[in-house]
Amino acid sequence: MPHLTVEYSSNLPLQAKELLLQINTSLVETRHFQEVDIKSRAIRFDDVVVGTAPAERAFLHAKLAILKGRSTEVKRELSERVLAVIQAAHVWPQGLDVQLCVEILEIDKETYAKAHLGN
């Protein structure tokens, strides 16, 4: 825990693995998570519609799933931190309307199961 999923439109020239590593590093710095527990992935979407206008638009939506029990302040800190890393990690294309979003999801501790195999 946590699980980070970054969804983004294919018209963003994103180096996804590099961005995931930068976000993971930032999350470790918060001291809310152990380094080995952060699991991140990125999903690129080719078929995307943002709104109804014919303008060229793009999006990146990050979902950070954490165990329940953290305060609103901590959740806000996490979402703002992830957003700041995303904003700083890339030179966003000129003339492209890009929406960046971060969502904090809570996982129920009582029903979450985990096994860690290996070292």
Average pLDDT over residues 73-97: 93
Query: How many beta carbons lie within 10 A of that of residue 91, not counting itself?
Result: 7
Q: Which domains does the chain have, with CATH numbers?
A: 3-107 (3.30.429.10)
Q: What is the rounded average pLDDT for all residues in the chain?
A: 93
**Partners of 5 in the β-ladder:** 41, 63
Of all residues in the chain, what percent carry a pLDDT higher than 90? 76
Per-residue 3-state assignment (H helix, E strand, C coil) for 23-77? HHHHHHHCCCCCHHHCEEEEEEECCCCCCCCCCCEEEEEEEEEEECCCCHHHHHH
Question: For residue 119, is pLDDT > 70?
Answer: no
Of all residues in the chain, what percent carry a pLDDT higher than 70? 99
pLDDT given at position 93? 87
pLDDT tens profile 26-79: 999 999 999 999 999 999 999 999 998 888 899 999 999 999 999 999 999 999
pLDDT given at position 109? 84
pLDDT given at position 72? 97
pLDDT given at position 111? 85
